[in-house]
Structure 1
């Protein structure tokens, strides 16, 4: 039997075990109700059992590029299954829930400015080699979680550094434009940057609590008790119901407005990767749960022209019209007509910024693939503005 101790803020909470048949079991060691490890796993005497790694712990496993790097460099250690991979990552996991009782004292060899203004072609590979085992990040995009010194605050903090390969050229610029569009639409997003050479999209870790320690975080695969293989299953209507179920009443209306605006902009930007792992909640207690900032927004049809939505919306995976989104906002998100109009107006402001920004970037010289991506996003943004302008009322 394999075992991993589980801690909350360095205090013992329970133990995760793997039976010989692969079944995983979690047992609490504490009777304190506030010592829960997940919103979906309240403290109880009875064990939590799952045929595979429980969703809470599976959430920490890397996917895609990072997983391939770890298997390549650490495969000789025997990564037989997800439990073994989690055990390999355990010493470096950070957050409200950890698998290591020791506090982490980060040191940074690089500053945030060094990444944003770097000219070395080997920087990303060096970061991956150094921090791959410290990066519990899902998704197929090349990325790494690295401690960087923020010279503005004189603090070492974790940043997600994303790069891109030939399959998705200029993905960092794509994501920066889309995320900036959301920011201009007054959607809550993490702090993010684009490197000077457009090679890296850099995002500050957003689960640090302002009073110290970490917020709890759970994505909607965890909240809907689904494995990462099921992240493309279900509907946005079901996701809206999960927000109502888990987000505290005091934070629910802002959460539904933010969710609606994110989905509306996903329609206009044609983001086909807004799956269950790309939405989540932050919590400090059972009574303080809020929607996490929106992250991982890109225009996927810049690379996959016939791409569709990750989940169904109003019964289809095709991108839908503003009129259908208006009905979704009222029926699924519970917005009043006035709240809906305000949210759509703010999204239009984001699109207007995007039209102007992409037009400015198209004035400069650049690779054909960069020009094509910018032109595609510019057309989508203009089309969104036109579609909204043609709506009755």
Structure 2
């Protein structure tokens, strides 16, 4: 099987298997700007990867729930390799690269979707699973139910564009749902992201929550205003050369070192490191144990403007008893603990150039924001009783997160969420389940 690889709709390379190697071979007419990945610039010699697809091509392959649906629907087209899976889903995904069977032009025949039907419609598990099934043919990673569908408005605009423009039918949105182990995940992620977003200090993906709190519409940052591919996107898992199932098998230090290799604009490096710093700190405040190497990424239009993407996928995992005992997804200074103490401050200072005083200011800004958004959570749960349990769990998790970052000697003078929690009449948090399970990691994998 041979696949064509396109960059912004231009056919630039072939992807195929040769004995035990997977091979990316650029076409003779490809120029330097047509690189598929930061790790694989254009050259005459082929790029080979042993035994499996190159990490770049694996970064957006479906996982978990979506992968099972694709196997159900497209089983006859799959031969058990990731190459055949990429042939099915590669025509539509995140970033500027598309992959299709040899001789097939990029594009999809999926029916356009009006996101208003998600925001104001039925997002129960049964109905949402039907939507995911309908739009399963897209390259998007992640363990929770999600999909990309051509946007109805974007589709009509694309059809009216002048000849010569790319005509890949895509979308300006990613649609994410909930499942039984993470109820009202849209509600959770919307308000968890809001803790950082409302400060206006870092780039954050724009989101909209459905009326029922079950679904989340995420505005894509890799496309232009017409919903057409504009940016390359590479997550740190791929840049570190790791397969997706090893997304937790790294460290924050390694991730930072890998990113710095591509941040070439010295004038903007300080700003980019601060972007990452806000992202990392936010995870500690809201207790998001699912920040791994696939949830931090770089984007670019060329090798000269590489930057961290807007922050995405921040969820209060501690709100769900099944995941409440999980530590941070990536260690710092060799430790995975929420009580990071001086090690986190030292990492920011020595590795990212953020002085202790500035670090303390960042912590307090996020804590103040968590208190403000916490009051919004309380009001939302008062108006919609079905959100009461997840809101209660989130509030307790945030209060724990704030306390673990602040100095015990000084914490008495800072306000937390306990008074608001008590005033709202919330009970103690539900206890964590004893069986420790890490989001995205199969319990069938052998122990390290």
TM-score of the superposed pair, with normalisation by structure 1: 0.89
Q: Deviations over 1:103-144 (max 9, x none)?
A: 6488864322222111475642342232100x2111110111
Instruction: Provide the secondary structure at the position in 2 that maps to 1:16.
Output: strand
Comparing 77-86 with 243-252, which one deviates more in the overlay? 243-252
Structure 1 residue 267 displacement after superposition: 1.2
Q: 2:115 & 2:79 partners in 1: Cα distance? A: 33
In the alignment, what sits opposite 2:273?
256
Q: Residues 373 and 324 (structure 1 numbering): CA distance in 2 closer, same or farther, change over 3 Å?
A: farther
In the alignment, what sits opposite 2:161?
none
In the alignment, what sits opposite 1:204?
219
- From 203, 222, 227, give the equivalent of 2:238: 222
**1:234-249 map, 5 Å:** 234-249=250-265
In the alignment, what sits opposite 2:331?
312
Structure 1 unaligned segments of length 5 or more: list them.
Answer: none
Comparing 158-167 with 354-363, which one deviates more in the overlay? 354-363
In the alignment, what sits opposite 2:428?
none
Q: Deviations over 1:164-206 (max 9, x none)?
A: 1111122221111111112123331111110001121110121
* Residue 388 (structure 1) aligned with residue 388 (structure 2): no
Q: 1:385 & 1:26 partners in 2: Cα distance? A: 47
TM-score of the superposed pair, with normalisation by structure 2: 0.79
Q: Residues 91 and 260 (structure 1 numbering): CA distance in 2 closer, same or farther, change over 3 Å?
A: closer
Structure 1 residue 337 displacement after superposition: 4.4
RMSD of Structure 2 on Structure 1 (CA)? 2.6
Q: Residues 113 and 4 (structure 1 numbering): CA distance in 2 closer, same or farther, change over 3 Å?
A: same
Q: 1:363 & 1:203 partners in 2: Cα distance? A: 25
Comparing 82-91 with 344-353, which one deviates more in the overlay? 344-353
**Residues 91, 99 of structure 1: 8 Å contact kept:** yes
Structure 1 residue 99 displacement after superposition: 1.9
* Residue 137 (structure 1) aligned with residue 153 (structure 2): no
Q: Residues 345 and 110 (structure 1 numbering): CA distance in 2 closer, same or farther, change over 3 Å?
A: same
In the alignment, what sits opposite 1:60?
60
Q: 2:139 & 2:313 partners in 1: Cα distance? A: 15
Q: 1:274 & 1:322 partners in 2: Cα distance? A: 19
In the alignment, what sits opposite 1:124?
128
Q: 2:182 & 2:123 partners in 1: Cα distance? A: 21
In the alignment, what sits opposite 1:189?
204
Q: 2:86 & 2:409 partners in 1: Cα distance? A: 50
**1:92-107 map, 5 Å:** 92-93=92-93, 95-100=95-100, 102=105, 104=107
Q: Residues 210 and 246 (structure 1 numbering): CA distance in 2 closer, same or farther, change over 3 Å?
A: farther
**Residues 163, 200 of structure 1: 8 Å contact kept:** yes
- From 104, 115, 118, give the equivalent of 2:118: 115
- From 298, 314, 317, give the equivalent of 1:297: 314
Instruction: Provide the secondary structure at the position in 2 that maps to 1:190.
Output: coil
**Residues 311, 317 of structure 1: 8 Å contact kept:** yes
**Residues 71, 79 of structure 1: 8 Å contact kept:** no
Structure 1 residue 380 displacement after superposition: 2.6
Q: 1:56 & 1:49 partners in 2: Cα distance? A: 12
Structure 2 unaligned segments of length 5 or more: list them.
Answer: 159-169, 412-448
Comparing 234-243 with 47-56, which one deviates more in the overlay? 234-243
Instruction: Provide the secondary structure at the position in 2 that maps to 1:6.
Output: strand
